[in-house]
Amino acid sequence: MSEPTTTGGTGGAAVARPTILEASGVTMQFGGLTALNDVSFGLSEGEIIGLIGPNGAGKTTLFNCLTGLYSPTSGTVALRGTPLPQDPARVTEQGVARTFQNIRLFPSMTAEENVLVGRHVRMKQNPLSSLLHGPGFRRSEAEAAERTEKLLAFVGLTRFSDELARNLPYGDQRRLEIARALATDPSVLLLDEPTAGMNAQETEATRQLIFAIRDLGISVVVIEHDTKFIFTLCDRVLVLVQGEVLVEGTPDEVRGDPRVVEAYLGAPPEEIEAQVNRVQVPGVQDNGAQDNGAQDNGAHDNGAEDNGTQDNRAQDNRAQRNGAPAEGGEQA
Amino acid sequence: MTATTERKPRHAAPPRASHGLAAAAGIATPLRVAGGLLTVVGAYLPWATFVLNQGPYPAQATLEFFTVPFGVVEYRLHLLLFGVAAVVLALAPVPAKGRILRAIGWGVVAVSVINGIWITAEGGGLGAITASDGAVAFGAVVALIGGVLLVVGANAPGLDPVPSWNWRFSWWLEWLVLLVVYALLLLLVAAVLTSGGQGSAANVYSGAVFVSFLGAVGGLLGALHASGLLGWVGALSERHRVFSVVVLLACALLLPLTQAGTEYWMTVAANIGVYAATAIGLNIVVGLAGLLDLGYVAFLGIGAFVAANFSGAAAARIGIELPFPLVMVISAVVAGIFGAIVGSPTLRVRGDYLAIVTLAFGEIFVRTAQNNIGGLTGGSNAIPGIPPVSLFGNDFNDALTIGGLELPPGVLYYVLIVLIVAAVMLVFANLKNSRLGRAWIAIREDEDAARAMGVRTGPIKILAFLIGAMLAGLAGAFFAHKTATVSYESFRFLESVTLLAAVILGGMGTIPGAVLGASILFVLPEKLREFSDYRLLLFGIALILIMRFRPQGLVPDAHRRAELAPETADEPPPPTSVPAVAGSAEKAGQA
């Protein structure tokens, strides 16, 4: 579609800071479907990067690759120059924590216990001391409990500490997920749509929370559809379209970039015509590939599914515009 | 003046109540009183008496025939007490009496239905209503109506939440209360265990008496829970946790001094202990880590066969005799190794598929043992003649006399299994409240999220299998010496299913649940010899009913209770009930 553009000059300060997380050439294929194609970016210490793009652009797939849930088909992810292992548990140990797009708390555990599970990786407690409850055990439990209390206070959930996670209000569940991720003492935090389904006030509170997390020295990557939220939060924004980095730059640069507008709102009419002409010949073939993709991905993953829907949607758009060009023009 | 002001809030209390409900509330008290009175009348009406006699119906020509149908003992005494209590409660100002009466009503229904069914099946049918007809079930019908009226009357005005009491006394008084409660618990357990006597061809009604007694005890405990007293005692035992544990252990060890102190009951109790320990081990795998294991009894079998082979029994392939404590350790380790082997597919296999893998393992074990592959299991000849455990030349089988106290044969085995079960409980409780236990629960809740939180799910799942299997192996070593014969027949699929049912029935993830479930499921067959043909049928029906009406199990985990019982979720959370439960668990453990 278009070349990934790296717009340099993300503000002098950011450039001066060392890179903590670096993805280079990450490509992820599911069968014949390419969910991510040669994605590269670097995250500096204390930086907040926003990841935006239409549904199915591969944002969550990228997160899964960064955290070891997927092994990228090619490309590497490195934390402070060391390649990350292909195992979520060990990635978390190294200091990359995440939240999930569809909240994945431990529903039948209390808020406190959820955060305690996050402490798992940092607790010094082997099975034998778990069994015997010796002084070492008590020390580590006390440390974990203290840390948990602080984290719950940090995200403002102290009053819910003994409540089952499933019973928390929606927004608080998202907050609890963040507290749980923070409990692993990450140096990089990946937030997947942290404000989905929130009202304006809650969104604002989340923004402040993310700033506070950044101030703890933790670098943050945020996936979000709310572009206003992203543009007012992030130091840098990556626009991912169909598995490729379309634009990268400061919020101002990205906001003004016509390609971003195009990716989100559709191309101006004359370009659509051009596109339709370009696509129509191999159209039948395309369809076949898409169907296969859609079936496959049901079996294994989100990212691929998103891609499938995305393609279908693009196709719908095309059809619609062919049928009613006036309307299409109006939209654009 | 004061009277009216006091009354107002009482009337205003249920403003949500519609007219229909208000009308129902008006007739609630008469309904309750009528139910109580009918229950009393039912207790005094003639009933078939062979159940009472635990034997054949008296000959119609004898005088006994005319007196016995009216004798108010056993279940009729229970009904009488329930009826009187219901009448008193219906008229007395007691908080949340609706729930108490409902529990009593269900107790009455249970007792009447159980005895009524027995009388109908064994006697002349429900139509026979006079003493001279030969079989008398009329009392059952009247008492049943009384029970139904009680339940309806209790439910009519809507139920209040269970009250929670916050009485506090000085520590010695609280200790005294706990002592009394635990002593009563001991007596209750002994009474339940021995009620109906030993089921046999000569005592075919033991099942009726036992089940009826269970129904009555259920009604009683339900009423106590509804009154908030159980919750209060639970809070009390939580405040004095160490004291409670010590006293409960002591109570468990005192069981041989009650009416259960005979060789037969000691054996039954020891068997229950074996399955309780195994069920707790299974509870780690299923209840905590959420890994369904359908072949778990194999680990009990492995422990038993290992112990048999190191026991010096003539039939054993390995002719070495090792001291029992060492044998226990070896059995546990070997079972644990097999546990890890069986658990290893969990790295790749999840959910239903894992259940099938474990099912297959259980079958492989049974077939291997049956065909004596490797010559370690004795095949269909089993391994007989395993010598009893002995200490200082004193066989654990023998009767024991301490001072002037004569203890029944097998009492030492009983003491040993109580200690083993206590140790297993300690392992379970300590692990559950640790980093490892939280990791298990996290895996049960959401395995992917657990991995994303840094839990290395593979080793931790295998550890669940390993530790669970070790506990079963430990119980197996005891089992081998206690029963003296180890045969593959004790470790078949049905036993695995029963253990799983015990865990689910009792309440997943809790110690008392596993112990209570194991006790019920392994005592019932002893009592219901008469119904051995229908045992599985009844067992299945009972499980279906429990899963439908109490999916969280008899003694649910605090979390699971909130999850599965929305009705009770809005009650004030009883932080207390967990310890109480721990108490009753240990109690049941000794049973």
pLDDT digits (tens, 9 = 90+) for B476-504: 999 999 998 899 998 999 889 889 988 98
What burial letters (b/e) apply to A38-68, b meaning 16+ CB within 10 Å? ebebbbbbbbbbbbbbbebbbbbbbbbbbbb
Query: Is it the case that residue A261 has pLDDT exceeding 90?
Result: no
3-class state of residue B76 by DSSP: helix
Residues B229 and B351 in one domain: no
Q: CB–CB of B454 and A121 under 8 A?
A: yes
Is residue B140 assigned to a domain?
A: yes
Any bridge partners for residue A292, and if so which? none
Give CA–CA dist A127/A139, Å, rounded: 15
Q: CB–CB of B436 and A130 under 8 A?
A: yes
Give CA–CA dist A121/A93, Å, rounded: 6
Q: CB–CB of A89 and B446 under 8 A?
A: no
ipTM over 0.95: no
pLDDT of amino acid B479 = 94
Q: CB–CB of B453 and A130 under 8 A?
A: no
Q: CB–CB of B563 and A166 under 8 A?
A: yes
Residues B292 and B377 in one domain: yes
Indicate the residue of A107, A110, A120 with minimum beta-carbon distance to B453. Answer: A120
Confidence bin at A277 (pLDDT 50/70/90): low
Give CA–CA dist B180/B327, Å, rounded: 39
Chain A residues whose CB is inside 8 A of the B431 CB are 127, 130-131
User: How, if at all, do strands A74-79 and A19-30 pair?
Assistant: antiparallel
Residues B172 and B271 in one domain: no
Q: Where are the domains of chain A?
A: 17-316
- Tell me the torsion sign for CA atoms B228, B230, B233, B234: negative
Nearest CA in chain B to A110: B559
Residues B453 and B374 in one domain: yes
Is residue B160 assigned to a domain?
A: yes
Residues B115 and B211 in one domain: yes
Give CA–CA dist A321/A326, Å, rounded: 8
Residues B317 and B394 in one domain: yes
Contact in structure between B257 and B269 (CB atoms under 8 Å): no
Non-local CB neighbours of A12 within 8 Å, separated by 6+ positions: none
Contact in structure between A23 and A290 (CB atoms under 8 Å): no
**The token pair that represents B308 in the structure block:** 């048999």
Burial tier of B333 (Cβ tally within 10 Å: 0-12, 13-18, 19+)? middle
Indicate the residue of B434, B451, B457 with minimum beta-carbon distance to A137. Answer: B434
Q: Which residue has the tokens 């008290």?
A: B29
Q: Which of B242, B347, B428, B434 to mutate to test the interface with A (most CBs of A within 10 A)?
A: B434
Mean pLDDT score of chain A: 79
How many helices and strands in chain A, by DSSP H and E? Answer: 15, 11
Give CA–CA dist B581/B129, Å, rounded: 43
Is residue B569 assigned to a domain?
A: no
Structure letter (DSSP) for residue B387: P
3-class state of residue B407 by DSSP: strand
Q: Which of B431, B432, B444, B445 to mutate to test the interface with A (most CBs of A within 10 A)?
A: B445
Contact in structure between A286 and A40 (CB atoms under 8 Å): no
Indicate the residue of B427, B438, B446 with minimum beta-carbon distance to A104. Answer: B446
Q: Which domain holds residue B70?
A: 25-233
Select from B256, B301, B253 the least CA-distant residue to B275.
B301
pLDDT of amino acid B136 = 52
Residues B226 and B270 in one domain: no
Is residue B563 assigned to a domain?
A: no
Structural domains counted in chain B = 2
Dump pLDDT digits (tens) for A188-213: 999 999 998 888 999 999 999 999 99
| Domain A17-316 coded CATH 3.40.50.300 | yes
Residues B189 and B298 in one domain: no
Select from B171, B185, B174 the least CA-distant residue to B248.
B185
Dump pLDDT digits (tens) for A219-245: 999 999 888 899 999 999 999 998 899
Q: CB–CB of A117 and B438 under 8 A?
A: yes
Dump pLDDT digits (tens) for B550-559: 888 888 776 5
Dump pLDDT digits (tens) for B170-196: 888 999 999 999 999 999 999 988 887
Indicate the residue of A104, A110, A131 with minimum beta-carbon distance to B430. Answer: A131
Q: CB–CB of B435 and A113 under 8 A?
A: no
Select from B438, B380, B112 the least CA-distant residue to A121.
B438
User: How, if at all, do strands A33-44 and A19-30 pair?
Assistant: antiparallel
Give CA–CA dist B60/B12, Å, rounded: 59
Residues B226 and B350 in one domain: no
* String of DSSP letters for A225-293: S-HHHHHHH-SEEEEEETTEEEEEE-HHHHHH-HHHHHHHH---HHHHHHHHHHHHTTHHHHHHHHHHH
Residues B211 and B344 in one domain: no
Residues B220 and B285 in one domain: no
Give CA–CA dist B543/B505, Å, rounded: 7
Chain B residues whose CB is inside 8 A of the A98 CB are 452
Q: Which of B241, B431, B438 to mutate to test the interface with A (most CBs of A within 10 A)?
A: B438
Mean pLDDT score of chain B: 80
Q: CB–CB of B445 and A107 under 8 A?
A: yes
Contact in structure between B318 and B491 (CB atoms under 8 Å): no
Give CA–CA dist B439/A136, Å, rounded: 19
Tell me the angle at which helices B97-122 and B138-155 cross, rounded to the nearest 10 degrees.
Answer: 160
Tell me the whole-structure pTM to 2 decimals. Answer: 0.79
Non-local CB neighbours of B267 within 8 Å, separated by 6+ positions: B410, B413, B482
pLDDT of amino acid B538 = 76
